[in-house]
Chain A
């Protein structure tokens, strides 16, 4: 304040600084009854033991949500190490014997169901074949014919999904291994950033509709583990690790609430996914395939039913058909994959805009793509867990 003209203001401030006005006599009683009764009501609404139980349930839920991806990563790393160890062992054996094919015995295959790559999209996995050099083909084929029931597949028809090195060996023979000894573990780690008037699940408790962009990072591992004891002696063993390291997904969706719990939404989008596949054949033809790009264009329709919802938790069930076109190595596969997905979802809303969710899902593929005619797995389970941000 300026000294010149503001002296009167200072005087005014002094006069009014401690201004007080008598309040009604029962003011405190009125205030206390209102303030404390509200407080008591609130505490009566949720008893302390329930609060504690909720608190622990929340902690447990967060731990579970964190643990699940960790288990998945751990399994993946375990499998990866196992493959490397087996490679090392075989290399060691091979070192002592320059002619591995003569050292190993014939494989005995009881079930000749073939497992081959399912070049689908989200739930893609399973590609296992043993690659053999053409020089060995004849020798082993003779043995196979004598001793085992193994189905072979001519590589000549294959044009997609293999690296250039492999393509040089077009006259190689592929031997497919039994699916009965296949173990598949699949998981996703995803985070969604959504712009729009979302609510607490993927579709949103939206009245006006939502349009936005989603960035999704997905780590998926599909492990194909074969009965190593059966094949180790045959010298024909191979493991496949498909790791989808990143995915970007742009989508537009619109949701509408039909009733209190039922929400309906439509979403469509384009996803780009980078896949790193490691194929390890555990004989002398060790090879590694990596950097396999996969691009999917998908359309899907989703129906979401919010089963239960409270401040911190949302339980929902979503289901719907999906149709996806597949692009690989710049080749457009016009024959799309049609599937139906059912997935219950549970989201823990840590804050209003931030939540962790887990969505186990089951996909039913109604058709296959061109190269999947052998023991195709129509029913594929999966789990997606991640973080979801809503604005």
Chain B
């Protein structure tokens, strides 16, 4: 089924088209939710809720371009994940200052490339919730710290500092992983 007839079928509410849409994009969209939520089972539930929104809102999607469709789906997944995180805010999810790395580890482009996708994903999902959220929004959704602050209801500086800490933690983990591999 080409993308145009897929979208048209979904707009008409055809079960086959909806199923095709789900099957085609659910694995990628699961990745988006998982990156934010950090728990696989929860990410699946969040993705299901997001797809229910997708099915009810697809009539308002007026494009036959796959890139646009993917971006739209991604946005809905992100929003749904943020809603989930807001409603299930974890307490004391921040790492104490003393546990943060003293110096920022220098990570090169090649360092990041050499680490398997699955491992990188694990590193991100193991970040504290607040850091992870800001990191995801900044790196993957290209939001500015001002926009993140507005969306999460936090200070712009707070967003910036959480991102810095997330980056330090991640760099440290990457270095540790590479050092372990060297040995």
Contact = CB atoms under 8 A, between A and B. Distances in A.
Interface of A: 1, 5, 7-13, 15-23, 27-28, 31-32, 34-36
Interface residues of B, number: 37
B30 A21 contact: yes
Interface stretch (B82-90, B108-116, B154-162): B108-116
Given A11-B109, A31-B51, A20 B27 contact: yes
Contacts of A27: 26, 44
Contacts, number: 79
Given A20-B28, A28-B23, 11 more contacts: A1-B139, A7-B109, A10-B109, A11-B109, A12-B112, A17-B140, A18-B28, A19-B34, A20-B31, A21-B40, A27-B44
Nearest to A10: B109
A190 to B, nearest CB: 38
A7 to B, nearest CB: 5
Contacts of B106: 5
A36 B34 CA distance: 24
A348 B23 CA distance: 44
Interface of B: 15, 18-19, 22-23, 26-28, 30-31, 34-35, 40, 44, 48, 51-52, 55, 104, 106-109, 111-113, 117, 120-121, 124, 138-140, 167, 170-171, 174
A8 B19 contact: no
22 contacts: A1-B139, A5-B104, A8-B107, A8-B171, A9-B112, A9-B167, A10-B109, A15-B112, A15-B117, A18-B28, A19-B31, A19-B35, A19-B117, A19-B121, A20-B30, A27-B26, A28-B26, A31-B22, A32-B15, A32-B22, A35-B55, A36-B15
Contacts of A9: 112, 139, 167
Contacts of B111: 8
Contacts of B19: 28, 32
Contacts of B55: 35
Given A32-B19, A35-B52, A12 B139 contact: yes
Given A9-B139, A35-B48, A21 B31 contact: yes
The 7 closest A-B pairs by CB, nearest first: A20-B27, A19-B31, A8-B112, A11-B112, A8-B107, A20-B28, A7-B109
Nearest to A31: B48
Given A12-B139, A31-B51, A19 B109 contact: no
